[in-house]
Amino acid sequence: MLRHDRRRGVFFQRHDDLSPAMAGLALLPTAAVTMVAVGLAGRLAPRYGNRRLMLLWLCLAAMGLALWAVTGSGSPYLFLAVRSAGSSGG
């Protein structure tokens, strides 16, 4: 995951013209979503099973990646944060 986040940080710097500090802030929602998703997955897996959770994760990740495909450079930070968190999937 660290390698993926580094690449995403470089993407924010090169294509969205963010400073290194803002690129780092743009990655914070990804870490937050991952922490919440790990906690939820541990609690929900015995109840719903791994297959349902994986299907949910894949759908959420697909929606996040679709946001990446639709948005371009110059998007507001809030949209970048949602886009980043959505594509993490947990």
pTM of the entire predicted model: 0.60
CA–CA separation, 43 vs 57, rounded Å? 15
List pLDDT tens digits, range 37-87: 888 888 999 999 999 988 988 888 888 778 777 776 666 766 666 666 666
User: In whole angstroms, what is the distance from residue 3 CA to residue 29 CA?
Assistant: 16
